[in-house]
């Protein structure tokens, strides 16, 4: 692959990133010296126990917080070199965000929720056809005039995914996108994310606890106590059960090694 090949450029990367949260005299090292590269067009799942630093990693890569040290790049842009205002503009135009709780504006129709990031970025809809195509791809074309309250959980998440894509971002970050959904609806959202990656070459980084969700990604990054302890392609796991076993093996192996070192 030549260096001028756009596919060889990372959609996002972090290099030697650490993040310490300070609350009064207490400090928490949420991430320690983490490096990660997300190539364009890839679907990456980030797994780890509660408190291992998954959301912090996502927030750093999406420019919602800044690292205590280290470098974050998205779409070739170093986030550290941007002022807060520039970072907000960059985030609005180049980064898509999907949350567990959907985070739709209750008083706005699905259509206006989807268009919200465009307006926030001072842009307007290129053509009705763009919205129509997106809504059709996401299976919500007949739901655009409904308020979020009148939509099912799965439909609300589809609207939230459409909202994350309307600016044509370089990368989409999804924090537990199926966490509020029943398993069948969750699976349909996973299938949709997979399709977006396969058919539109979207780059997706998704945090999840669930092996049955992570199996839809191309690769899994495992975090433990603020550090990346392993990464593996999902291809080596035939199914969610085998992925769960692999994940458990990694986490248990790391814990045993730590105990050995301490002993």
Instruction: Please say whether the beta carbons of 222 and 228 come within 8 A.
Output: yes
Smaller CB separation from ligand ATP, 65 or 77: 65
Q: Are strands 77-78 and 69-74 parallel, antiparallel or unpaired?
A: antiparallel
Smaller CB separation from ligand ATP, 22 or 260: 22
CA gap 217, 42 in Å, rounded: 8
Instruction: Tell me how far, at minimum, the Cβ of 112 lies from ligand ATP, in Å.
Output: 30
Q: Hey, what are 147's tokens?
A: 């308020």
Smaller CB separation from ligand ATP, 23 or 85: 23
Instruction: Tell me how far, at minimum, the Cβ of 41 lies from ligand ATP, in Å.
Output: 25
Q: Contact residues for ligand ATP (CB under 6 A)?
A: 21, 23, 28, 30, 48, 50-56
Smaller CB separation from ligand ATP, 34 or 134: 34
Instruction: Tell me how far, at minimum, the Cβ of 157 lies from ligand ATP, in Å.
Output: 18
Residue with tokens 């966490």: 179
Q: Which of 2, 165, 38, 188 is nearest to 95 (CA)?
A: 165
41: helix, coil or strand?
A: coil
Question: Residue 201 carries which DSSP code?
Answer: -
Smaller CB separation from ligand ATP, 28 or 255: 28
15: helix, coil or strand?
A: strand
176: helix, coil or strand?
A: coil
């Amino acid at each position: 692959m030549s260096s001028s090949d756009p596919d060889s450029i990372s959609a996002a990367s972090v290099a030697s990133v650490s993040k310490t949260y300070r609350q009064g005299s207490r400090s928490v090292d949420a991430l320690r010296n983490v490096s990660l590269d997300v190539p364009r067009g890839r679907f990456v799942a980030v797994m780890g126990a509660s408190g291992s630093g998954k959301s912090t990693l996502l927030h750093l890569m999406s420019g919602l917080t800044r690292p205590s040290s280290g470098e974050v790049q998205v779409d070739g842009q170093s986030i550290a070199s941007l002022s807060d205002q520039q970072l907000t503009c960059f985030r609005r135009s180049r980064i898509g965000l999907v949350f567990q709780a959907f985070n739709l504006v209750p008083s706005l129709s699905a259509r206006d929720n989807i268009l919200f990031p465009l307006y926030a970025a001072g842009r307007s809809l290129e053509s009705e056809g763009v919205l129509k195509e997106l809504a059709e791809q996401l299976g919500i074309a007949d739901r655009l005039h409904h308020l979020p309250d009148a939509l099912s959980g799965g439909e609300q998440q589809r609207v939230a995914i459409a909202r994350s894509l309307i600016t044509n971002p370089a990368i989409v970050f999804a924090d537990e996108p199926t966490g509020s959904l029943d398993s069948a609806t969750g699976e349909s959202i996973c299938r949709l994310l997979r399709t977006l990656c396969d058919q539109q070459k979207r780059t997706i980084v998704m945090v999840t606890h669930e092996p049955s969700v992570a199996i839809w990604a191309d690769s899994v990054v495992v975090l433990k106590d603020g550090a990346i302890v392993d990464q593996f392609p999902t291809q080596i796991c035939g199914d969610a059960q085998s992925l769960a076993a692999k994940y458990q093996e990694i986490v248990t192996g790391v814990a045993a090694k730590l105990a050995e070192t301490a002993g």
